[in-house]
Every structure is written in structure tokens, then in C-alpha cells.
Amino acid sequence: MQDIKEMTKTAYKFLKQRDFKNAYKELMAAYDVDPNNTYVLVGLGETLRKQKRFDDALAYYYKAYELEPTNRFAMLGIGDSYRGLKNRDKALDIWLKYLKVNPRDYSITTRVADAYKQVGDLHAAEKYYFAALEINVNNKFALMGLGDLYYKQGNYSTATVYWEKLLKLEPHLINILTMLGNIYRKKHAYEQAVGFYERALKLDSENPYAIFGIADSYRGNRQYQEALEYYDKMKIIDPKNPKIWTRYGDCLIHSGKFSEAEEAFRKGLGVHAGKYGWYGIAKVRELEGKVDESIEILTNIIAEEPEDERPHMIIADLLMKHYPDKVGTYVEETLKKFPHFTHLNHWFTEAMMHQFEDDVEKM
């Protein structure tokens, strides 16, 4: 009969090959010989955990842990099993005990930070991410986690610091490249955003997040022809997204292609009967010199959503440009109905001030 050492050696060889059936068979044979052998108990836990039999695995890990409370493999197995069961509280409990014994293990320190972030304790998460980086400044998972933590808090500038450090270590992370592109796009740093999206597209030329992001960045930077090229790709990838059609239409307006722009807006309305397509068509009508039709479209939007301040402001602006004698009455009547329209009130005050200054200049 083989001794336990040989049986466990054979079992771990099977385990490494992911031959769980034979690994389990060898380990159970060893268990029958010595049910208190922690090496065998941990091996059984590993074999079962890797098959996602987390509850069964825990029984063996806990037995090893009770026999040897500082057994790092038993503690790690317990933590990973609870993580597999999505029981973060119990995973955290054992990981924190583990770190008292193994305080320099930055991978588990990072897992603790991740767990705290997932349960919403962001202060504790930040503390453990920093601790992990003190142990290993090049800890990629801690850099990723910190970037994600700050991003979700809206602290985009700090998020970029950690994600850009991460990219120096791992330059092929498409999701981080696109997220950085998104951050710079939100900050209107369009050229930097394009740089990150282009890097993502070199890795995956069909990545929809990078394609949409680069299209939007070119649009924000008023490079409408370049934007149209990428929106054309997005129309194929996601034809039922009305946002793509309205932004595509906006680029066509700025390119002087009014009929094509209206067609794009109407396709967007065919997907989703929202107001943004109508805003686009109203703009087309204005540029075609059909101001009354533009105002009529905006009035219809107001009929559907009277509390939306934007169409009121657009009408006021159209009246100021084309029917200046009517704008005062329109704004006054609108503000009587909606006194909380602070943007309209401010806009009208500014417009009247500029009008007064122009009149003085002409005297």
C-alpha cells in the first residue's frame, strides 16, 4: 500500500492537470489512512473548490483550519470558497485573520480592498489598496481597483493617475484604455481621448466602446468628417441606438447636409420616439429658413413635456434672431407659467442687456 506522501503527491499531480476525479480518488484514499492530515484536507478542499462545490470544500478547509489555525492554504481556501458563494462578509473575516499571520501578502490585501469596495465601505477599501501598493508598488490589481474606486466616486483626475500607471505595466487592457478615453472625453480633452481610443482600436478594431468614444470625441472637437466615419461604423454595430442617429445627424448638419441629417434624425425617431430627433429636425428647418416650422416642432415638444426648459429657450432664441419684437412677450408669458426657469430668465436678462448696449452704440 502506498504511503500518504506518495498518494498526495500523485493526487496533486492530477489536480494540476485538472483531473479532479482521480485527484479526489487519491486524496480520499489518503484521508482514509489519516483523516487529520492537513495537507490531505486542503487538497480535498482544493479539488472540490475548483469544481465550484464550495460548501463541500469548506468542510475540509475548516477541518484543516481547526487542526492548524495558521495554515495559510486552509485560510485562503476558506476565503476563496466564500467568495465563490458571494458571501463577502465571511470571506472578509477569514482574509483579515489571514493578514494578521501573513501581513505582507499583497494579493490578499488587494482582495480585502476589493471586498470592502463591493460592500460600499470605500474608506476601508482605499486604506487596503494603499497598503497593498506599499508592499508592491507594481500591484496591477490594486492600481485597477483604486482607479475604479475613484472613477465611481466621480474623482476622475485621481482615477486617471492610477489607471495610467497600470497601463505602463499592462498596456493592452482595452477596458482601461476606453475608460481613460471616456474620462478625457468628459473633460473635453478630446485629443487625449482620441489617443486612448485609438490604442484600444489597435487591439480590437471592432470594439464598440472605442468606436463610439472616438466618434463622439471628434464631434466634440468639431472634426465632423472624422466623426461621421466612426458613426457610420456604429450604425452597423448598433442600429437601434437612437443616440447614434441623432449625433450622426448633428454631424451632417455641421457638414451642411441638411436632407441627409433629417433622414438620420427620422431613423432615430423610428427606433425611439424621443424628443432629441425632433430637436435635430427643428434645427434643420431653421437652417433651411423655415423658422415657423421649427417653432411649431418645438411647440409640439413642449406640449409633451411642458416642464422641459430647453425647447422654451430654443424658441426664445429663434424669436430673438428672427422676430425680436415677439421675444419679450413670449419670455414673460413663459416665466409666468414657469417661474423656476432660471436659465431662461438669465438668458433673457443677458440678451436684453446686449440689446441695450447695441442700441447705445448706434446712438
Tell me the pLDDT tens digit for each residue of 250-263. 999 999 999 999 99
**DSSP line for 224-263:** HHHHHHHHHHHHHH-TT-HHHHHHHHHHHHHTT-HHHHHH
Per-residue model confidence (pLDDT) at position 127 = 98
Per-residue model confidence (pLDDT) at position 169 = 97
Per-residue model confidence (pLDDT) at position 307 = 94
Which positions ≥6 away from 341 have C-beta within 8 Å? Answer: 309, 312, 334, 335
- Which residues of the chain, if any, have pLDDT below 50? 1, 360
Task: Please count the other Cβ atoms lying within 10 Å of the Cβ belonging to residue 212.
Answer: 24
pLDDT in tens, 22-81: 999 999 999 999 999 999 999 999 999 999 999 999 999 999 999 999 999 999 999 999
Q: Where in the chain is the domain with CATH 1.25.40.10?
A: 1-102
Please classify residue 226 by burial: count the beta carbons closer than 10 Å to its beta carbon, then call 0-12 exposed, 13-18 middle and 19+ buried: middle
Domain 1-102 bears CATH identifier 3.40.640.10: no
